[in-house]
Structure 1
Amino acid sequence: MSDTKEILNIVLNDEKLLNSRAFRERIYSDEPIIRPASQLIKPQVPPQIKEMKGIAFTPEAYWKTSAWLFYTQGKFMENYEDDFQYNKDFVKYYPCYRDLTTEQLRGYFSWRTEVRKGRIQKAPLPYVFIYLYELINCIGANSPAECFDMLKHFCSEYRKIDDTIEKYTDSWLTDFIIYYDLNRSLADDIDDIKHDKAIITLIHWEKYSKSEIFDAIEALSAYRLKKSLYYISESENFREVLVRCFIILSEFFRNKRKKSLCEKLFGCTVECGHHMFSSAIFYDKNSLRNCEYTLNEVHSYSCRNGKWFCKKYYGNRGRNTHLGYIVKAVDSLLREYTDFKYKMGFDGISKNTEKILKNEIEHYFEEKRHNESMKIEIDISKLNSIRTSADKIREKLIIEEEPDIEVKKPTIDITMTEKNSDMLLGKDEYMFICSLLYGVDHKKAAADSGKMVSILADTINEKLFDNFGDTVIEFSGDEPIVIDDYTEELKKMFPMP
């Protein structure tokens, strides 16, 4: 049998052994009669681990920092591999090599060997943090760029196993880019830098699309607008109105106030002291350097005589409460204006801001109604019938010599007008298109009919579309005009009454 405990159990419960004279006459102590080999033989200490442990007792280690000791031991063990099985869990705060037993050290290096081969498995948290400390100290790679890739990959993968490390890793990734002077584009996927970019989008809204502005508002607003019932029901209206409201408020603050809207919402950037790789064991090998590093226009770093400073928007780096008030107000006012089934209240904004939002919402829906009244829909399925109708009209317009028929010029006879309109246009539409064709006051013609100019033009365009396959009246500014290409043909169809 391969199971040691099972073998021991069989031996110690054997009846012949228990009944033997030698067994009954012997006095035993509390020690186990038979012990596993792991309890009899003390595990050997690999020579490299033994030598690594000795570094902590050198004269230099007594006056150097613990960060120096970790870095020195880590570089010494940089390429070490092991295959020792250690399955016990344990806890250590700010763990380093000198805090671990030989078995724990061998267990760590065995786990690290597997990680470097791409097999990332759950491990005691001290192992995870020691590995992270190694990477931020550039232990285990040929260059900082390579080490950053390893650090980013490990953080991304291990978060799926245990998210405990998540509150540290983004700041360490950012610090890594700064300290080792890597390309700032490497920070684009870090949440803190995405926050900066959203603020920049709102500061310079003129340079961005409506979609980008909306995404920035959604990312920064404490009010989760995508959970709104009105947004779910009317997302297109919500998106358009929200962006327009933000723009109109930004313009108001720019023109009427000393501070911009974004300054009111987010404050100003401030420079504060910065502890590089906070909450980690990190050995600063360039402790007296001077340098500058800019991540973006609202987030930069400087090192002066070894002391680091960071300039950015401090305070709440998450979702913004004041922006949330505006978004919620827009949601509430939209529900009220459109008589949405589910109403809700709002607060946190001034009466003047509320007035601006209401005016913009009203203006948006007025524009929408006007645009919809001007919209002409073309049914492609009717193209064949349009061509047939056009052929028939062309045949009717061909004048043949027929001596028995006298062609008379139309008069103001309303009856004649009504006869012509039986086929194509009504009386009001007939008089309106004639006013355009023959230079008569079209506004008076519209007024006499009791209809709006735009309504008459749309109706005529719709009724004549089958004949021309096109719009015959268009607008130049607010004035309707007949398209030149169709003027003569229309005059033949609609002579001046």
Structure 2
Amino acid sequence: MADVDAIIEQILAASRAKGGRALSSERTYADEPILLRGSQLANYLPDPIREMRALARRPEARSWSDAHLFVEQARLMADYVDDRPYPREFKSYFPTYEAMDNQQLRGYFTWRGGVRSGNVTQTSASFAYVYLYELLNGIGVEPGEEAFRVIEGFWQAYRTFEPAMDRYVRPWLVDYVVYHELSPEFARPYLNTEHDHAVGILSRADAVARSQPRQRRRAAYVPVTDPELFDALDTLSTYRLRESRLFQDEPDALMAVTCAVFAQLARYYHSGRAQGLTESLFGSRHPMPHLMFASAVFYPGTRHPDGVYELDDTCRYLCRNGIWTCDALHDGGARNAKLGQVLHAVDQRLRAALDYSHPLKERGDPKYLAQIIDREVHDYLEWRKQHAPRRIEIDLSKLAGIRSMAAETREALLVDEERDEAAPVVRETPSTPEQDSSLGLTPEELSLLHELLDGHASSSPGTDLLVDAINEKLFDLLGDTAVEFDAQGVPKLVEDYVEEVRSALDG
């Protein structure tokens, strides 16, 4: 290219030196190329593109499929880079090289060169899909983990321009992992297995319920709360129990009744229906034909070896004679409205039984469903009533009366000798009537307090009652117990409050 530019410049310089009429004018023109390179001409077609076009006209190409021809052309153009961008938009439902005109081809290979150098820019969406088709077929990249990383990286970079690309690339990435037998961890972010795992939880709970023998009389009720089952039901249902207001206030009740209703429905379907509960809601897992890289232009070339690929415990791929099948749950992965009706009925009828402040309207639920729910709600509420914690209330205001009655009883049981020994020594106190009324202490209580202040108190019958009374009356003053008993049972003032009690008594 440098030689061509030098030749053009030499020709122009010679023309100026001769003062050629073609290059002399009194008018002023803007700069523009006078002589163009061949590659800059609109009708110029690079040799690699000519060869690619010729490939499609070969006799053997007549028997090739469009995908086969695309891959053969892609291999021929694997390393080609052009330098003529395409300024307009190219649209095609199944874009291939044959769907492009020459200018679009040159524009695509120019853009692809930038992408390969790390410059992912927005272009026609069809160009982006052609590049993905190349990567899926191993063009310009080594098939396997390296190609997976390139496909994933390009998609994540370009999806900001074309969000609709997610719909196709996510399943292609999963197919690529299976087809090239990569680690399942590569496919994990792009699998929608939450739905299938939830159905598996329901299937196991369904089987457990059906395995239990039917009894003429209901055994003693025991609530069963299964958070895993409850979460699975919430995941699969159009009615979201976890978003229910009742779940915020009564989570245990709603969970217990919901799980019990599911178990009873499973038994009901097992005894009276051709299909079990879970199967009637979501179908059963079974193999179905699977087209690898659906909606993409893909040509495998040789037949894929027979094999089995376990993607996870909900999905398995099998290849036999080049034909792929996918053994999985083929229900579309949508939430189930029939299950939503069941869970709404549970919520509505439990609210009614609890006399909840936010009731729900009934939706015309089947009688058998209403009967099952009402029975489980009744059993749960009866069980909760029987196992409710007992509340014991103590009226502290009656303690003084109890102590007084106990003192009278004790006094009546004493003989004269014991009564003389038990009589407390009452000393005159310097307290004034104002002091008595301010603290509410009786003369006996004041006497004991002064003895405690002087350090002369001793334990005698009736002292414990006086101590209790003193502590009650001084609580407002101290906010704590004033008198305690030591290890020998002798009352003593709490050291921290001695001065405060002394000041209160002295006024």
Superposition TM-score, scaled by structure 2 size: 0.58
Per the alignment, residue 176 of structure 2 pairs with 176
Instruction: Report if aligned partners of 2:174, 2:191 keep a CA contact under 8 Å in 1.
Output: no
Tell me by how many angstroms 1:112 deviates.
Answer: 3.2
Flag the 1:237–1:101 CA change in 2: closer, same or farther, 3 A.
farther
Counterpart of 2:97, as a letter, is Y
1:356 is aligned to 2:372: yes
Match of 2:340 among 307, 324, 328: 324
Size of the alignment, in residue pairs? 357
Instruction: Report if aligned partners of 2:198, 2:235 keep a CA contact under 8 Å in 1.
Output: yes
1:129 is aligned to 2:145: no
Instruction: Report if aligned partners of 1:83, 1:110 keep a CA contact under 8 Å in 2.
Output: yes
Match of 2:329 among 313, 320, 344: 313
Matched residue SS, 2:181: coil
Flag the 1:203–1:48 CA change in 2: closer, same or farther, 3 A.
same
Per the alignment, residue 97 of structure 2 pairs with 97
Deviations 1:245-271 (A, max 9, x none): 435544665688764321121122343
Q: C-alpha separation between the residues in 2 aligned to 1:283 and 1:361?
A: 60
Q: Sequence identity of aligned pairs in percent? A: 31
Counterpart of 1:138, as a letter, is G
Q: CA RMSD in A?
A: 4.3
Per the alignment, residue 483 of structure 1 pairs with none
Matched residue SS, 2:176: helix
Superposition map of 1:393-404 within 5 A = 404=418
Instruction: Report if aligned partners of 1:322, 1:348 keep a CA contact under 8 Å in 2.
Output: no
Tell me by how many angstroms 1:92 deviates.
Answer: 0.8
Instruction: Report if aligned partners of 1:294, 1:300 keep a CA contact under 8 Å in 2.
Output: yes
Q: C-alpha separation between the residues in 1 aligned to 2:124 and 2:85?
A: 13
Counterpart of 1:105, as a letter, is L
Flag the 1:242–1:359 CA change in 2: closer, same or farther, 3 A.
same
Flag the 1:334–1:188 CA change in 2: closer, same or farther, 3 A.
farther
Match of 2:389 among 362, 373, 377: 373
Matched residue SS, 2:262: helix
Instruction: Report if aligned partners of 1:187, 1:193 keep a CA contact under 8 Å in 2.
Output: no
Matched residue SS, 1:189: helix
Per the alignment, residue 311 of structure 2 pairs with 295
Tell me by how many angstroms 1:281 deviates.
Answer: 0.9
Instruction: Report if aligned partners of 2:90, 2:104 keep a CA contact under 8 Å in 1.
Output: no
Superposition map of 1:233-252 within 5 A = 238-239=254-255, 241-250=257-266
Q: C-alpha separation between the residues in 2 aligned to 1:84 and 1:248?
A: 71
Q: C-alpha separation between the residues in 1 aligned to 2:98 and 2:308?
A: 36
Instruction: Report if aligned partners of 1:325, 1:346 keep a CA contact under 8 Å in 2.
Output: no
Higher CA-based Rg: 2
Counterpart of 1:125, as a letter, is A
Instruction: Report if aligned partners of 2:196, 2:333 keep a CA contact under 8 Å in 1.
Output: no
Flag the 1:236–1:179 CA change in 2: closer, same or farther, 3 A.
same
Tell me by how many angstroms 1:371 deviates.
Answer: 5.9
Flag the 1:39–1:90 CA change in 2: closer, same or farther, 3 A.
farther
1:165 is aligned to 2:161: no
Instruction: Report if aligned partners of 1:188, 1:194 keep a CA contact under 8 Å in 2.
Output: no
Q: C-alpha separation between the residues in 2 aligned to 1:202 and 1:63?
A: 51
Counterpart of 2:166, as a letter, is E
Per the alignment, residue 359 of structure 2 pairs with 343
Flag the 1:288–1:250 CA change in 2: closer, same or farther, 3 A.
same
Instruction: Report if aligned partners of 1:222, 1:320 keep a CA contact under 8 Å in 2.
Output: yes
Q: C-alpha separation between the residues in 1 aligned to 2:282 and 2:34?
A: 62
Deviations 1:72-97 (A, max 9, x none): 22233334445543332231110011
Q: C-alpha separation between the residues in 2 aligned to 1:306 and 1:406?
A: 113
Tell me by how many angstroms 1:37 deviates.
Answer: 5.5
Match of 2:234 among 206, 213, 218: 218
Counterpart of 1:358, as a letter, is D
Tell me by how many angstroms 1:326 deviates.
Answer: 1.6
Instruction: Report if aligned partners of 1:245, 1:360 keep a CA contact under 8 Å in 2.
Output: yes
Query: Mean Cα displacement is larger for which, 40-49 or 163-172?
Result: 40-49
Flag the 1:139–1:267 CA change in 2: closer, same or farther, 3 A.
same
Per the alignment, residue 42 of structure 1 pairs with 41
Tell me by how many angstroms 1:47 deviates.
Answer: 4.2
Flag the 1:288–1:137 CA change in 2: closer, same or farther, 3 A.
closer
1:267 is aligned to 2:272: no
Counterpart of 1:70, as a letter, is F
Tell me by how many angstroms 1:35 deviates.
Answer: 11
Instruction: Report if aligned partners of 1:210, 1:243 keep a CA contact under 8 Å in 2.
Output: yes
Superposition map of 1:98-113 within 5 A = 98-113=98-113
**Which consecutive residues of structure 1, in runs of 5 or more, have no partner in the other structure?**
1-21, 24-32, 377-402, 408-418, 424-497
Q: C-alpha separation between the residues in 2 aligned to 1:37 and 1:244?
A: 84
Tell me by how many angstroms 1:342 deviates.
Answer: 3.8
Deviations 1:203-246 (A, max 9, x none): 23499x94443333233212344554545666665455444543
Matched residue SS, 1:272: strand
Q: C-alpha separation between the residues in 2 aligned to 1:101 and 1:372?
A: 81
Per the alignment, residue 54 of structure 2 pairs with 54
Query: Mean Cα displacement is larger for which, 259-268 or 344-353?
Result: 344-353
Q: C-alpha separation between the residues in 1 aligned to 2:240 and 2:287?
A: 30
Flag the 1:301–1:228 CA change in 2: closer, same or farther, 3 A.
same
**Which consecutive residues of structure 2, in runs of 5 or more, have no partner in the other structure?**
1-25, 209-224, 393-416, 422-463, 469-507
Flag the 1:155–1:222 CA change in 2: closer, same or farther, 3 A.
farther
